Amino acid sequence: MLKWNISAKVTSLLLFICFVISATLGWIGYRAGKAALEANTLAHQTSINASKASQLSDHLLTIEHQIRTLSQDKTITEAMLNFGAAFEQLNAGAQQGPADVSAELADFYREDFFMLYRGSASSGGDHLAFLPTSPGGRYLQHHYLAMNPYPIPEHDRLEIAAEDASPYSETHAAYHPSIRNFRNAFGYYDIFLVDVDSEHIVYTVSKETDFGTSLKTGPHRDSNIAEAMRRAKASTDPAAVHFVDFSPYTPSYGNPEAFISTPIVYQGQVIGILIFQISVNKINQIMTGNQGWQEDGLGKTGETYLVGNDLKMRSVSRFLVEDKENYIRALTSLGTPSAVIDQILKHDTTILLQKVETPGSLTVNQGGIDTGIFKDYRGAEVLSSFRPVKFGSLRWAMISEMDTAEAFAPIKTLRRELVLSSFLIGIAVLLLSIRLSRSFTRPIVRLTEAAQRVGMGEKNVQLPVKSNDELGFLTDQFNRMTVNLQEQKETIEYKVEENNRLLLNVLPPPIAERLKSGEARIADAYPAASVLFADIVGFTAMSRGIPPMAVLDLLDDLFGRFDKLALALGVEKIKTIGDAYMAVCGLPTKREAHADPIADLALGMLRTVADFNQERRTNIKVRVGAHSGPVVAGVIGTSKFIYDLWGDAVNIASRMESTGIPNQIQITESFRDTLTEPFDIVTRGEIEVKGAGRLRTYFLTDTSY
């Protein structure tokens, strides 16, 4: 008769119903609150996104108006004419001073520019490759770069170059101050004047290494400033403005730079190209709110950034600025290439380096505007709002995001309160039913604890059967099951151990593990390994008349010593065939210095044979051959396994043994060249090797032997 009554079941049912009702109501409240908070946060992100897009569009439109206005200014037109003429005179040889690569200019590129360029851009090469190709360009760079008394960031302070009495110097003194003032007033990185016919940069405010170079044939002909020049030159609209997206720019030490250009027209003809090098700092100020993210309503984790059509950032990441260590750690955990991370750290920017391949950036690339929740470029879940920002033919993605962990922080409080209320209700019901349920749960607890003990490997776990109900029957069956499991476990462990021993007797441990893991066919190519063959000279004739057991004992003793020597040197024994012994180094575990252990093994074999002869009073001699080269190794057979090698390297190693001399180690030139440690080697000369032609061979000797 069962002792368990219906009251415990009813108590448990009441507790379950109470929990379901509380959990359901709590879940509904939680979901409603979260949905409202999500909608509010996304609306806020969309508002910020629209505001930033408007600010950026206004900034880009201002740049467009400024470059168009400046290009039509009479002063710029005169400057373009005079700079172009002065530069042409320099090219024609009318200047006074060096027109070739002066020692000072070469030193400037090597010691100033190129050291900074390599340090920031991780690039090597010929420092003179960046020099202008024209005499005029080299002349200007000599005076305004190499001989500039100001440090590189302040080259623009030079108005009149010392020892430069050319018309260019007079032109520079006349126009440079006003153009520099314009650049400084509006925050551009640089302003360029490009002659439309020669396509040379005849003037630049900042005086970097693009000064005086040809954008058609010079070192920067493939850069984005050259593209900006070409677009303006090819334009049929003299008032058209052309924007070229960010790209690493060598004269600015590999930093990401963007350019905007427009023609300069005089008397109906295009005489030059005006180009602004846009300062990324202004774009970053707009995107980051001058690093005032919290003041912009973006909290502790929100940010707004730009992404180009190549899915790479066009503004700096907030997390690089505020929390560089955790940002880099996040990129590393996502598998970002170390070269990209190094560039981010060197340039201290994410522009053109941080890839943003998220649903938001992909949607904008297809022309969409939307919001959503997904993982951002750091792998963190965010609430995101995104839209395109267009400027001429350029289209960027404007993305505003905030971590869901911060956005949903208020809902966590509600969730805690709901959980607490459900818990208190559950406690009240539990207290009413605990007395009745205890007698029901105690046997189950004992069974659970016993099952855990069995799972942890404890043997002979048995429980007393204290009732004749279903739980008593379950306890009895559990006891029977533990006995059966223990017997089966012991049998399986014995079989597994036996199989492992057998497998390791015929296969190297790494190969055995691969075979046990399920690989059906194992064959690997190794580009470099060293193979050894050894053979007892005249063993067949010597063994005639000797009892089989004596022959077996002799071979077992000698080859056993070889095996110990190979094991100590980390050399893999492949097999023995009669009185022949084969070993290899460099596989299955790759090893760079694979020839040295084979050489040590070969020398050790000669010493071992000498000791063996002395102990056993025999006169055994061995031939040893070795060669280094590519081999293929694999497991052959399905019912009886063997790990074997094949390839030309194996054949040549075998020929080195068969064509060798007793008690000598014959090696190939390849084996000799692979050795990293000094060994005593004697040249034997060329011999005819079957299948390989004539090969130069050597003897590996032991002066102590």
Bridge partners of residue 697, in order along the sequence = 668, 685
User: Rounded distance, CA 64 to CA 66, Å?
Assistant: 6
Could you report the per-residue pLDDT of 379-391, keeping only the tens digit for each?
999 999 989 998 8
pLDDT above 70 (res 8): no
Return the amino acid letter for 217: T
User: Rounded distance, CA 667 to CA 583, Å?
Assistant: 14
Beta-carbon contacts of 303 under 8 Å, excluding residues fewer than 6 positions away, are 287, 288, 293, 317, 318, 319, 400, 401, 402
Q: What does the pLDDT read at residue 1?
A: 47
Q: What does the pLDDT read at residue 194?
A: 97
pLDDT above 70 (res 7): no
**Architecture of domain 509-701 in CATH?**
2-Layer Sandwich (3.30)
pLDDT above 70 (res 487): no
Could you report the per-residue pLDDT of 142-185, keeping only the tens digit for each?
999 999 999 988 999 999 887 788 899 999 999 999 999 999 99
Please tell me the pTM assigned to this model. 0.57
| Full 3-state SS string of 140-204 | HHHHHHHCCCCCHHHHHHCCCCCCCCCHHHHHHHHHHHHHHHHHHHHCCCEEEEEECCCCEEEEE
Taking Cα atoms as reference points, which of 589, 570, 600, 582 lies closest to residue 679? 600
User: Stretch 180-198: mean pLDDT, rounded?
Assistant: 95
pLDDT above 70 (res 532): yes
Least confident of 500-509, 598-607, 672-681: 500-509
- pLDDT band for position 432 (50/70/90)? low
Token digits for 344? 């981010």
Q: What does the pLDDT read at residue 149?
A: 93
Could you report the per-residue pLDDT of 637-683, keeping only the tens digit for each?
776 778 889 899 999 999 999 999 999 999 999 999 999 999 999 99
- pLDDT band for position 514 (50/70/90)? confident
User: Rounded distance, CA 416 to CA 613, Å?
Assistant: 85
- pLDDT band for position 453 (50/70/90)? confident
Could you report the per-residue pLDDT of 77-128, keeping only the tens digit for each?
999 999 999 999 998 875 555 656 688 888 888 887 876 666 544 444 566 7
- Of residues 227 and 370, the one with the higher pLDDT is 227
**CATH class of the 72-278 domain in this structure:** alpha beta
Q: For all residues of the chain together, what is the average pLDDT?
A: 85
- pLDDT band for position 517 (50/70/90)? confident
Could you report the per-residue pLDDT of 402-412, keeping only the tens digit for each?
998 888 887 77
Question: For residue 578, how many other CB atoms are within 10 A of its CB?
Answer: 11
- pLDDT band for position 433 (50/70/90)? low
- Going from the C-alpha of 528 to that of each of 544, 587, 671, the distances in angstroms are 40, 9, 10
Taking Cα atoms as reference points, which of 199, 180, 200, 198 lies closest to residue 190? 180
CB 400 within 8 A of CB 386: yes
Residue-range domain boundaries for the chain: 72-278, 509-701
Return the amino acid letter for 49: N
